[in-house]
Amino acid sequence: MKQKNLVVYYTHSANTRKIAEIINEQVDGTLFEIIPTQPYPAGYDDVVKQAKKEINAGHRPALMSDIDIAAYDVIYVGTPNWWSTMAPPVAAFLEAHDFGGKTVVPFCTHGGGGMAHIQKDVEKLSDGAQVLAGFDIYGSGGSNAASAVEKWLKEVQK
Ligand SMILES: Cc1cc2nc3c(=O)[nH]c(=O)nc-3n(C[C@H](O)[C@H](O)[C@H](O)COP(=O)(O)O)c2cc1C
C-alpha cells in the first residue's frame, strides 16, 4: 500500500511555507499550516523578543485548528529556526499528538544557524515516532530550493 504523507509547518514570513509546498509537491502529500490563535507581531524586533520569552518559558500557544494524523504514515514537520529551536506553535502541535508507529521528518528554514537544536528537540516531542534526519535551508532557498529538497528526499527515503 502506498504510504500517506502529511506536511505540517508553521511560518512567520513565508520561507517555511515555500519549502513545505515544495516537499508536499514532491511527496504527493497533504499540506497543513499550523496557525496560532494569536498571530505573532510582524515587526522583527517584536517577534524576536516575544519568541525568546516564550521559548525560555516553554510556552505552548493555542492553535487555530488541528488535523487528525491517524491516517498518515510519514509526517514532515517544518519550522523556522527560532532561537536555535522550533517555533512554539510547532512544539504545541507536536505535544498535542501521539506519533506512535509513525515516521517524523523535520525540516527548517533559517538565517544562518542551520538545524541547531531542532532535530533533537523534535525527537523529544514526537512521542513514539521514528525521526529521520532532517533538512535545513537558508531563507527561502532561492531558485535552488526544489533541487535541494529533491536531493535530500532521495537520501532520506533510502
Ligand atoms: C523570532 C526569530 C528568531 C530567529 N532565530 C534564529 C536563529 O536562532 N538562528 C537562525 O539561523 N535564524 C533565526 N531566525 C531567522 C529565521 O529562522 C529565518 O528567517 C526563517 O527562514 C524564517 O522562516 P519563515 O519565513 O517561515 O518564518 C529567527 C527569526 C525570528 C523571527
The closest of 94, 115, 108, 74 to 34, measured between CA atoms, is: 94
Atom of ligand 1 nearest to the CA of 15: 25
Q: What is the pTM of this model?
A: 0.98
Best residue among 12, 110, 140 to mutate for probing ligand 1's pocket (most ligand atoms within 8 Å of CB) is 110
Q: What is the mean pLDDT of the chain?
A: 97
Model pLDDT for residues 16-38, shown as the tens digit of each residue: 999 999 999 999 999 999 999 99
The answer to whether the beta carbons of residues 119 and 156 sit under 8 Å apart is: no
Model pLDDT for residues 75-126, shown as the tens digit of each residue: 999 999 999 999 999 999 999 999 999 999 999 999 999 999 999 999 999 9
Model pLDDT for residues 148-158, shown as the tens digit of each residue: 999 999 998 77
